[in-house]
Chains A and B, each alone.
Chain A
Amino acid sequence: MSAATPITLGETGLFDPTAPLTPSGNLRRRGVINRFVHVTATAAAFAAVAVLAIVVVSVAVHGASSLSLGFVVHNPQGLAAGGIANMLLGTLEIVAAATVIALPLGILTGLYLTEFAGPRARTARFHKLALDIMQGLPTIVVGLFVYGLIVIPTHQESGFAGAVALSIVMLPLIARASQEVLLLVPGTLREAADALGVNRWRTVLTVILPAAIGGIVTGAILAIARAAGETAPLLICDNIYNQTSTSFNLFHGVPSVPMFIYTSYDLPLTQAVARAWGAALVLVIFILFANFGARVLLARSRAKMGR
């Protein structure tokens, strides 16, 4: 290589001191790819938000016409008129019963996994897998299970069977949420309680649970919101439709909002379809508000724990 060889820059050839200071060649290509990825990812995120908007707006547009105060406080009259008060109350009863079953069991499962089984214990690992599988169970199969467990022996589709099915849907959600928030409770609190000679269960009851209560409540709200909209288990276990009276006996069929939506839609009556949309709107409003509230609560309890 002689001294007269001009300075070269990479593969682009001769070094030209007067060239404009913009990327060219390989650098330019990398910049273009980077920009392309950025735009694509942004578009994907906003497309997802747009889909949510389309779903909510289409429910609102179709449901607005039948929504009124009377719609939520009156019982239905026949198939095409009246409100949905008895279904709202029925959903409330079923979900409340499911919560009574799932909440304590879910919190206990979370406590067991974080406080009583060591993090590396083989049984704890096994139980986490079991919890995963439970969460992955198709809800319709949960319905079949409870049908075999309760409906066949009692010869009766009932709100209680529906509640048991919903509690199986809720349990892993609550357990997972409790587990996550319990892991966030500072270890120093446990050590301080241990140093004072407090029993394990008293530590849990008086120190750890109060510290974690915000996150547990958030998990419970999310699970309740999920259960309130769940249709498949009720379709199998508590299939009541066209009932126009309020039902307070959980051991008989109890009408519910999701089942009302599901069955009304099949009726060859435009009013029935409109009412189904109205009920769907009520359900969506409740679920979105519950999610929003849970999120606010979580942010607040996180802030408190960070203190």
Chain B
Amino acid sequence: MLAGVLVVVTLADVIYQLVDNSGQAIDRFGLGFLVHTVWNPGFNKEGAAALVYGTVVSSLIALVLATPLGIAIGLYLSMMAPARVRAIVGPLVEMLAAVPSIVYGFWGLVVLVPFINGLEPGLHSALGFIPLFGPASTIGISVFTAGIVLTVMILPIISALSRDLFLTVPADLKDGAEALGATRWEVIRGIVLPSTASGVGAAVMLGLGRALGEAIAVSFVIGDVTQIHASLFDPGSSIAAQIANDFLGAVNPLETASLFYIGFILVVIAMLTSIAARGIAGRFDVSAGMLAKP
């Protein structure tokens, strides 16, 4: 009981410490902090808009890429793979989550950045009519690269959770559909995905939470530029990466307070994500119960 209370107290204290230490920035910038893009500590001007933008966009890239891939891997591991392949590939995919973020940062910088740099001109010429795919950055360090690194980091979360969910679908339902002549894909589309949709949604939210809060790996590849560019191939910065890059070198107490302030914003976003995941998963429990009854 006490241990449970301690968790709640810790969370409350997290909020308190963040608000307390960001007091100076809150007093000075108020809510306008959220809409100002300039981050120039030398002139006591700090705004979080560019950072929020970088955080959200890089995480959305990761989400768009990792959701279908993760669901596909979950389907493969739960319904298609032979038992032996499953026993090897499943743990290997989960190992992706065990690699520390600093190693992903390194890998992103040394392996991924040159690769992306080669990829960007092609994407620009193919999809350049959309402003998102602007002219390639010269060095491959960009919001897009950060999104790719985050994709790799959240892929194991989404695929492991969705695999576990797909395994909970009652075999009776799948067998029934197959007996009616449905192909494997029709079983997946008609039975497996609809009955686990909300659980998969929760898994995706958990992946999103991880992507939003990742600091070290992102700080290596995003470029540390607090500006908003339409093109994904331009460098940017994210909340967590900004804290990692600037906290120790903060030029004045106001910048430190501002960093605590963006930390507070990040916590609010992360908490909303966790609560949303739990809310969606709660709906899943109900639908699973309904599924099991008849």
A and B interact physically = yes
Contact A232 B18 (CB under 8 A): no
A229 contact set on B, CB distance < 8 A: 99-103
Task: Tell me the nearest residue of chain A to B15, going by C-beta.
Answer: A145
Bound complex: CA A127 to CA B100 (Å)? 28
Decide if A42 is an interface residue (CB 8 Å cutoff).
yes
Q: Which of B96, B152, B156, B263 contacts A140 (CB 8 A)?
A: B263
Tell me, rounded to whole Å, the shortest Cβ–Cβ distance linking A22 to chain B: 15
B175 contact set on A, CB distance < 8 A: none
Q: Which of B32-40, B45-53, B129-137, B181-189 contacts A (4 or more CB under 8 A)?
A: B181-189
Tell me, rounded to whole Å, the shortest Cβ–Cβ distance linking B70 to chain A: 8
Contact B156 A105 (CB under 8 A): no
Contact B11 A134 (CB under 8 A): yes
Known: A34-B185, A59-B106. A41 touches B213 (CB 8 A): no
Contact A235 B107 (CB under 8 A): no
Known: A40-B72, A112-B4, A288-B95. A261 touches B270 (CB 8 A): no
A58 contact set on B, CB distance < 8 A: 107, 110-111
Q: Which of A45, A135, A148 contacts B21 (CB 8 A)?
A: A148
From B7, B99, B214, B278, name the one whose CB has the most chain A CB atoms within 10 angstroms. B7
Task: Tell me the nearest residue of chain B to A112, going by C-beta.
Answer: B4
Decide if B145 is an interface residue (CB 8 Å cutoff).
no
**B211-245 with Cβ < 8 A to chain A:** 212-216, 240, 243-244
A40 contact set on B, CB distance < 8 A: 72
Q: Which of B2, B20, B81 contacts A108 (CB 8 A)?
A: B2
Q: How many A-B residue pairs have CB under 8 A?
A: 241
From A33, A62, A105, A136, name the one whose CB has the most chain B CB atoms within 10 angstroms. A136
Chain B interface residue count, Cβ-Cβ cutoff 8 angstroms: 75
**B167-214 with Cβ < 8 A to chain A:** 183-186, 188, 206, 209-210, 212-214
Interface size class of A (residues with CB under 8 A): 35 or more
B110 contact set on A, CB distance < 8 A: 58, 62
Q: Which of B92, B98, B183, B209 contacts A33 (CB 8 A)?
A: B183
B3 contact set on A, CB distance < 8 A: 105-106, 108-109, 111-112, 175
**A200-230 with Cβ < 8 A to chain B:** 222, 225-226, 228-230
Contact A134 B184 (CB under 8 A): no
Decide if B277 is an interface residue (CB 8 Å cutoff).
yes
A305 contact set on B, CB distance < 8 A: none
Task: Tell me the nearest residue of chain A to B212, going by C-beta.
Answer: A138
Contact B263 A230 (CB under 8 A): no
Q: Which of B98, B185, B267 contacts A141 (CB 8 A)?
A: B267
Contact B275 A291 (CB under 8 A): no
Q: Which of B21, B102, B243 contacts A280 (CB 8 A)?
A: B102
Tell me, rounded to whole Å, the shortest Cβ–Cβ distance linking B270 to chain A: 5
Decide if B116 is an interface residue (CB 8 Å cutoff).
no
Contact B215 A45 (CB under 8 A): no
Decide if A98 is an interface residue (CB 8 Å cutoff).
no
Known: A38-B80, A51-B96. A137 touches B14 (CB 8 A): yes
Contact A291 B263 (CB under 8 A): no
A168 contact set on B, CB distance < 8 A: 10
B113 contact set on A, CB distance < 8 A: none
Known: A48-B73, A144-B18, A149-B17. A283 touches B11 (CB 8 A): no
B240 contact set on A, CB distance < 8 A: 138, 140-141, 232
Known: A51-B152, A148-B20. A138 touches B214 (CB 8 A): yes
Known: A226-B98, A235-B244. A136 touches B274 (CB 8 A): yes
Tell me, rounded to whole Å, the shortest Cβ–Cβ distance linking B280 to chain A: 12
Decide if B139 is an interface residue (CB 8 Å cutoff).
no
What are 7 A-B pairs with beta-carbon distances under 8 A? A33-B185, A55-B104, A58-B111, A113-B4, A132-B275, A229-B99, A229-B100
Which 8 A-B residue pairings sit nearest by Cβ, starting from the closest? A138-B213, A229-B100, A148-B17, A108-B3, A136-B274, A41-B76, A140-B215, A44-B72
Identify the B interface with A (CB < 8 A).
1-4, 6-8, 10-11, 13-14, 17-18, 20-21, 69, 72-73, 75-77, 80-81, 89, 91-96, 98-104, 106-107, 110-111, 152, 155-156, 159, 183-186, 188, 206, 209-210, 212-216, 240, 243-244, 247-248, 259-260, 263, 266-267, 270-271, 273-275, 277-278
For the complex with contacts A42-B81, A48-B156, A261-B102, 15 further pairs of A-B residues with Cβ separation under 8 Å are: A37-B75, A44-B69, A49-B92, A55-B104, A56-B99, A59-B103, A59-B106, A62-B110, A117-B4, A131-B7, A137-B213, A139-B215, A145-B14, A172-B7, A291-B95
